[in-house]
Amino acid sequence: MSAQILDGLALSRIVRESLKVRVDALREKGIIPRLDVLVAAQDPASLAYVKMKHTWAAKAGMQGESYDVTADTTQQQLIDKIGELNANPLVHGILLQHPLPAHLDEQEALIALGAEKDVDGIAPQSLGRLVADLPGFRCATPLGIMKILEHYQIPIQGKRVVVIGRSVILGKPAALMLLQKHATVTIAHSRTVDLPDLCREADILVAAVGRAEMVKGDWVKPGAVVIDAGYNKVEGRKGDVGDVEFESASQVASWITPVPGGVGPMTVASLLSNAVESAEKTLA
């Protein structure tokens, strides 16, 4: 292996240590940062993610409640709950853990959430602020990616970036954040032609696809930086598998994020950091 590891887990520990200091300072002023979560009660993966988020939040001294969203929850009940949490001054961040049960309209719920407590940065109002270069909470996963690049002092300005994936929570905002740092960005998707050739042009390649090990080593330009946001379950294999074939890509890249231990931990750290920032704003 020639690539150096972009260690998101180690960086997340640094971020979480710094959060403890910020949380202690808030507690001295009588404010306990609180992140509440609405989660589909029948989705074991979502419940596991939420449990991890609450555990890390508690370790940083934060508080948080979870509310079950079930097959019986109506759209109106969901909107009412979001309204109640938005009106509660003790709640600083609200997370709608994706996916919610299929009968519910997530976008309508996110619009009801608005930007103020949207610490996951995925409400249309938050995304609009990103597009407009206005301050606001940025989507946790792309924010985690940006923090990794910043920490490891990976140059972005003027670099050619290919982001594979155009989802609202990951590919698109990642592309916009990289554009803000003056990269020249191409967004690829399922209908992109000659994807491997396109990827070989990238100085920084971001995979946000949801297809296990789709990106092979020979898609990577020698010396490129590879960010693998993918988390995929593969039958017969333990744990999560990235969108990049680590074995071959790490022979060619200069830097690469592992899965697990790359983008995932920095997503949670960035979410909690946004929630603490939201609590800090109440002092302003």
Cite the active site residues.
53, 97, 120
Q: How far apart are CA 263 and CA 33, in angstroms?
A: 24
Q: 53 or 81, CB closer to ligand NAP? A: 53
Q: 121 or 264, CB closer to ligand NAP? A: 264
**Structural element, H or E, at residue 184:** strand 184-188
- Judged by CB under 6 A, the stretch of 24-32, 69-77, 182-190, 245-253 that binds ligand NAP is 182-190
Q: 96 or 188, CB closer to ligand NAP? A: 188
- Judged by CB under 6 A, the stretch of 19-27, 81-89, 187-195, 197-205 that binds ligand NAP is 187-195
Question: What residues from 204 to 233 belong to the interface with ligand NAP (CB under 6 A)?
Answer: 208-211, 229-232
- Judged by CB under 6 A, the stretch of 50-58, 105-113, 260-268, 270-278 that binds ligand NAP is 260-268
Comparing CA positions, the residue from 137, 143, 85, 74 lying closest to residue 276 is 137
Pair 249, 3: CB distance under 8 Å: yes
Q: How far apart are the first and last CA of the chain?
A: 49
Q: Judged by CB under 6 A, does residue 188 bind ligand NAP?
A: yes
Q: How far apart are CA 185 and CA 179, in angstroms?
A: 6
Q: Judged by CB under 6 A, does residue 189 bind ligand NAP?
A: yes
Q: Judged by CB under 6 A, does residue 200 bind ligand NAP?
A: no
Count the helix, strand and coil residues of the chain and give each as a percent rounded to the nearest 5.
45, 15, 40
Residue type, 284: A
Give the phi and the psi of residue 104 in degrees, each rounded to 5.
-100, 145
Interface pick for ligand NAP out of 63, 167, 184, 186 (rule CB under 6 A): 167
Structure tokens at 93: 């961040």
Q: Judged by CB under 6 A, does residue 192 bind ligand NAP?
A: yes
Q: 170 or 220, CB closer to ligand NAP? A: 170
- Judged by CB under 6 A, the stretch of 77-85, 125-133, 161-169, 177-185 that binds ligand NAP is 161-169
Ranges of H-type helices in 29-163: 44-59, 75-87, 106-113, 124-131, 140-151
Please report the sign of the dihedral spanned by the C-alpha atoms of residue 274, residue 276, residue 279, residue 283.
Answer: negative
C-alpha of 66 from chain center: 19
Structure tokens at 77: 């009940």
Q: Tell me, by CB under 6 A, how many residues bind ligand NAP.
A: 26
Q: 64 or 230, CB closer to ligand NAP? A: 230
Contacts (Cβ under 8 Å, ≥6 apart) of 45: none
Least separation in angstroms between residue 283's CB and ligand NAP is: 29
Question: What residues from 46 to 65 belong to the interface with ligand NAP (CB under 6 A)?
Answer: none
- Residue number, nearest CB to ligand NAP: 167
Question: What residues from 131 to 150 belong to the interface with ligand NAP (CB under 6 A)?
Answer: 141
Q: How far apart are CA 236 and CA 246, in angstroms?
A: 18
Least separation in angstroms between residue 176's CB and ligand NAP is: 14
Residues at the site binding ligand NAP, with contacts judged by CB under 6 A: 141, 164-167, 169-171, 188-192, 195, 208-211, 229-232, 243, 263-264, 267
